[in-house]
A and B are shown apart, each in its own frame.
Chain A
Amino acid sequence: MRRLLSPVPIAVVIAVVALLGLLAYGVRSTAPDATLEQALATGDRPTAADTRLPRLDGRGQASLAEFRGRVVVLNYWASWCEPCRTESPLLERWHRWLSGRGGTVVGVDVMDVSSDARSFVREFGLTYPMLRDADGATQRSFGIVAYPETIVIDRAGRIAALRRGPVDESFMRSEVAPLLGEGS
């Protein structure tokens, strides 16, 4: 018993407990953030973080605040992502439809080679505003872990819906179109 109370075993126990604590903290802090899903499931609309990013074409910066008053379909994508290729024509079609009705699609190209991203935009003839998040810093505030993911923001700047994965026609009809009728 006296041997167990000597400094060396105590130091070993403290070190083991500290390492276990660090491991637990690491597992918790790197787990996907489901806060948004939980809020949306209870009918809440959390305010979207004001995201400010450079434009993909290099012409200055843009922030989400600039689109306040419009319904924003914020789409995180990358040129190497196959499902992003599938959904891009649909997003472009919806952007053209939305732009005359108080809405817009905004693309955010994430952790991508910028020349590849610009080629992608040209290939699909995308005309909606395109931003670039080189290191993925803004995606954390939306809990994004894969691509593509889409956040739908209402006219008041609140998150109204999200899709983890490619969007489709039924998502756009059920989650985006009704927001156009809401006031800001």
Chain B
Amino acid sequence: MSRQRAAGRALAAAAAVLALAVAPATALAAACPRTSVAAIENEVMCPVCKTPLGLAQEAPQADRERAFILERVERCESKDEIKTALAAEFGDEVLALPEDEGFDLAAYLVPLLGLAVGLGACALAVVRWRGRRASAAAPAGSGAMSGDLSGHDREVSPDAAARLERDLERYDL
């Protein structure tokens, strides 16, 4: 009986060891590949073609760069690891980020300038809209005469108001 129990324990231990050995390999196989050439090629440049790698077709340098990426995809490297390897191989320009000098500086400045102009235009529109609202609301409470002259916020002298009243009576209006 005790021999049977010992054998059972040994079997259970062997199964546990086997499970531990197989589990990481299975997990790794499930996670590999972690990225693809297609996922990376639109986020990096072909340095010689000066275009994103995804747009560089039939260019020998682009083909070599794709082979470089594929080699690492098959080695189960992540997208970030592959991008780091690309930058080490071709310099930071390969990461599709414009330089911060010369003409490429425009890539950073133009959006900022556009944002500033947009904000300025919005502020101007708000100021004009508020001005129009204020001028439309003013006659209701500040007019010198009621009724007829609404829409005009000019002051009318008492003489002129009396004359206007007389004219309206005379013409029976």
Residues on A facing B (Cβ under 8 Å): 7-8, 11, 15, 18, 22, 25-26, 29-30, 78-82, 111-114, 116, 134-137
A111, B48: Cβ atoms closer than 8 Å:
yes
B91, A135: Cβ atoms closer than 8 Å:
yes
Cross-interface CB contact of B63 among A7, A30, A80, cutoff 8 Å:
A80
Residues on B facing A (Cβ under 8 Å): 47-48, 60-61, 63-65, 67-68, 88-94, 102-103, 106, 110, 113, 117, 120-121, 124
Contacts of B93 in A (CB 8 A): 135
CB-based nearest A residue for B110: A22
Cα–Cα, bound, A30→B99 (Å): 14
21 residue pairs of the A-B complex, CB under 8 angstroms, read: A8-B124, A11-B120, A11-B121, A22-B110, A25-B103, A26-B103, A29-B103, A78-B48, A80-B60, A80-B63, A81-B60, A111-B47, A111-B48, A111-B61, A111-B91, A112-B61, A113-B68, A134-B88, A134-B89, A134-B90, A135-B91
A contact patch SS: helix
Cross-interface CB contact of B64 among A80, A82, A136, cutoff 8 Å:
A80
Pairs of residues from A and B, 3 with the lowest C-beta to C-beta distance, nearest first: A135-B91, A80-B60, A111-B47
A136, B110: Cβ atoms closer than 8 Å:
no
Contacts of A78 in B (CB 8 A): 48, 61
